[in-house]
Amino acid sequence: MTRLAPALAFMLSALATPAFAQVKKLPRPPSPPVVAAPPPAAADADLAYGAYQRGFYLTALNEATKRAQQNDPAAMTLLGEIYAQGLGVPRDDAKAAQWYRLAAGHGDAHAMFALAMFNFEGRAGARNPEEGAKLLDQAAKLGHPLAAYDLGLLYLDGRQFPQDFPHAAQLFQAAADKGNPEAQYALATLYKEGRGVPKDHAQAARLMGAASVAGNLDAMVEYAIAEFNGDGLPKNEAAAAQLFVRAARRGSPIAQDRLARVLMAGRGMPANATEAVKWHIIAQAGGSSDPDLDVFAAKQTKEVRDAADAAAKKWLATAAPRS
């Protein structure tokens, strides 16, 4: 499942299949698990989850199994995660789903959300979007932010539920209040468009800013545009230009195009023809087009164009994928 599309505003006017948030994996070490006994823990420590965090997956499995036998829903959910990700054991979606169902039956919202994703993806049988939507609704009512966000997307889409922008906005608000940057971005777009909520560019900018700080790339670009234009917040071309730089380096073609324009015009930072053409070439490689920059690039000297082309090729050869 993919992230929310960058042009959410377009999705609101021409709705497509919603893009769901990924099941949020529990944090774990990036290196392979080490088969060794974990250090002693305090008697009141969560042995199962503590072992899981340190990469002792078999110890986590054993400890969680003991607790699951005592009807501990968090332990059941942890077992579902271990089998779903194949951590220390072969991946087994059927076992993962079984544990998620048991935990969900005991009211665990994380298990409900994970099981919902299994139903949407068909990981433990046939795809069942209706059951997935039902589980999202249950988890959202228990305060699970990703469930509220994904459920809001379903209400925008209007396939499994009647299209309902106000209810989608309420769900995005619930997730945004818990710091979910995707929900903050989605809600900001609704405020910007006046869909389900009153049009409010200041509120849209505030939410875009929060999502931007949290690292949402699309919100970063939208916030920079708003700040550059003074739309909903004080105009600050210099600050916006720096945000364009950050977003461009992370691979946003829109930010790359805007940065090229900034460097062409010398607004927010000094003009630099070579850098402007470089970022224009990079933006074009990402699918962006800009006739004004085409004309600008064509007017530059061969030395400028050659230097820009070489710099763009070097950047494209080493750039990380868009995230």
CATH number for the domain harbouring residue 79: 1.25.40.10
What are the residue ranges of helices labelled H in 106-144? 109-121, 129-141
pLDDT of 6 strictly over 50: no
> Which pLDDT score, from 0 to 100, does residue 43 have?
37
Query: Distance between CA atoms of 226 and 235, rounded to whole angstroms?
Result: 8
Q: Which two tokens stand for residue 88?
A: 């220390």
pLDDT (tens digit per residue) in 272-307: 999 999 999 999 999 999 999 999 999 999 999 999
Q: How far apart are the first and last CA of the chain?
A: 14
- Asked whether residue 309 is domain-assigned, the answer is no
- Asked whether residue 22 is domain-assigned, the answer is yes
The count of other CB atoms within 10 Å of the CB of residue 305 is: 18
pLDDT of 140 strictly over 70: yes
> Which pLDDT score, from 0 to 100, does residue 30 have?
31
> Which pLDDT score, from 0 to 100, does residue 160 have?
86
- The identity of residue 318, as a single letter, is T
Share of the chain above pLDDT 70, in %: 85
Q: What are the backbone dihedrals phi and psi of residue 3, each rounded to the nearest 5 degrees, phi first?
A: -75, 170
pLDDT of 321 strictly over 90: no
- Looking up tokens 């710091």 gives 179
Smallest Cα–Cα separation from 239: which of 267, 263, 264?
267
- Asked whether residue 207 is domain-assigned, the answer is no
> Which pLDDT score, from 0 to 100, does residue 209 have?
97
- Asked whether residue 280 is domain-assigned, the answer is no
Share of the chain above pLDDT 90, in %: 81
* Confidence at 322, pLDDT banded by 50, 70, 90: low
Average pLDDT over residues 192-213: 97
- Asked whether residue 278 is domain-assigned, the answer is no
DSSP 86: T
> Which pLDDT score, from 0 to 100, does residue 60 have?
93
* Confidence at 26, pLDDT banded by 50, 70, 90: very low
> Which pLDDT score, from 0 to 100, does residue 17 have?
31
127-131, 314-318, 319-323 — which is least confidently predicted? 319-323
Residue 71 lies in domain: 1-163
> Which pLDDT score, from 0 to 100, does residue 152 have?
97
- Asked whether residue 11 is domain-assigned, the answer is yes
Q: What angle (nearest 5°) sits at the alpha carbon of residue 105, between those of residues 101 and 108?
A: 90
Query: Distance between CA atoms of 85 and 91, rounded to whole angstroms?
Result: 6
pLDDT (tens digit per residue) in 217-270: 999 999 999 999 999 999 999 999 999 999 999 999 999 999 999 999 999 999
- Asked whether residue 32 is domain-assigned, the answer is yes
Average pLDDT, the chain: 87
Overall domain count for the chain: 1
- Asked whether residue 297 is domain-assigned, the answer is no
